Amino acid sequence: MTKFWCDLAWISADGNGKNSADGRHAAEDANAADDKSGAGTERGEVKSKVLIETAGGQISAVTCGVKNPPQEAVHLAGFTVPGLANVHSHAFHRALRGRTQVEQGTFWTWRESMYAAAAHLDPDSYRDLATAVFAEMALAGVTAVGEFHYLHHSPKGGLYQDPNAMGHALAAAAEAAGIRITLLDTCYLAGGFDTELNDAQRRFSDGDAARWAERVEALRKAYADSDTVRIGAAVHSVRAVPVDQLPPVVAFAAEHELPLHVHLSEQRAENDACLSRHHKTPTELLHAHGALGPRTTAVHATHLSQMDIDLLGTSATAVCMCPTTERDLADGIGPARAAHLAGSPINLGSDSHAVIDLFEEARAVELDERLRTERRGHWRAEELLHAATTAGHTALGWPAAGRLRPGAPADFTTIATDTVRLAGIQPAHAAESVVFAATAADVRHVVVNGRFTVRDHRHELVEDVPGKLAAAIGAIFK
């Protein structure tokens, strides 16, 4: 058993509206209350002098107001929150940081640079790059990542000896970096509506949804007993999966109760093409084929009609906002608040990793809304923390995670409050200070499964993370 004593901690309310850490609670009390809906409560409260006890990788007890902690308790100086969930990641996009800022253009021109980077990756080089990227995430407070994975095969489209070699490389990278991963194995079969794959896209495809499902089933069985790896399913987009191939993917995810993620309406051109081909918006097309629901996450959801928003909300489909990528690629500002009010849980991802900073993603949801509406105060800080923690973990298939309460995985992040950005923080406004001022550089400690992954700003498992990033990226562009 390990005990941690927090100066300040953010404790989300339980389903009855009571604070889940008022006094001491047994682990079994929380296990029965796991919120699998993804919406849950978004209320939370900053508590002082919080003792978190862990055993077997889980939180066993949480006690507030402990003025004299046990001698063996590890002091977490700062503000401790549940571990952050990075719901949408393409690890290899990290190699493009800075390189694509010298050009003009659109998402579609940026995509060519992305394809060029992907062409240089094999299982060994991908593991090296992803280990460094996931370690960067850990240093930023991330304890779980959703890796939207479609680099399945060799650069020319041939199968590796193990057809899941690239997926295994990503799982191994997450383990090496000390974080959890939901490997969202992505079905990608076409270059667009009624368009063949181009040469760069061939490695993404299994040929059809049946062969995709066969490969993913082997992957699912390989990690069935893992404590830190979960397998999910993904439809790359309605333009990349022909309409007759959607049902098998949806059925496979439903049969195995897997998270199902999909890029949705990131670009107006996708909407226009879908309307031209199917006389439906992408959201309407997914709805018609049973792809929406509480286990589904729509990534971006930038250009939605009111009907789209209603369909997502009434089905409790989550929406993953990736503001730093959406502004980097000039996608636009999505209707996050409207989607949330309609019933969609909101979560966050760093996507292309223009930066890896979940605090920046969280505040951007509010700040972008201010730019769009010329009004302030659309999102409370606690709602944005909920998006970065509880809602994100639920979207990745870890519904018990993202909370500081007994029975939850012992995953949490401590933000230093003595930095120049957060100096003078007061408990009454700690959540607001962190959401609207903290950066990834303020993360002091990260605990995953009850063990330190990051301690005093230093990664415990990966030495010289910047050096490993430089080496892995340099190998791609040599």
Cα 379 from Cα 150, distance rounded (Å): 33
DSSP, residue by residue, 388-419? HTHHHHHHTT-TT-SS-STTSBS-EEEE-SSS
What span, in angstroms and rounded, lies between the C-alpha atoms of 313 and 293? 9
Residue of 35, 328, 351, 442 marked active site: 351
Phi first, then psi, for residue 78 (nearest 5°) are 130, -150
411 is catalytic: no
Whole-angstrom distance, CA of residue 290 vs CA of residue 63: 44
CB distance 170 to 130 below 8 Å: yes
Check: CB of residue 274 under 8 Å from CB of residue 281: yes
CA 387, chain centre distance (Å): 10
- How many residues in total does the chain contain? 478
DSSP 351: B
- Catalytic site includes residue 300: yes
* Residue appearing with tokens 């046990």: 70
**Marked catalytic residue, from 152, 236, 263, 300:** 300
Residue type, 376: R
C-alpha distances (whole Å) from 6 to each of 12, 48, 349, 388, 443 are: 15, 7, 27, 20, 14
Q: Which two structure tokens, joined as six digits, stand for 344? A: 């969609």
Burial of 343 (0-12, 13-18, 19+ CB in 10 A): middle
Query: How far apart, in whole angstroms, are the C-alpha atoms of residue 134 and residue 131?
Result: 5
Burial of 427 (0-12, 13-18, 19+ CB in 10 A): middle
Q: Where are the beta strands (DSSP E) in 236-307?
A: 260-264, 296-300
Active site amino acids: 300, 351
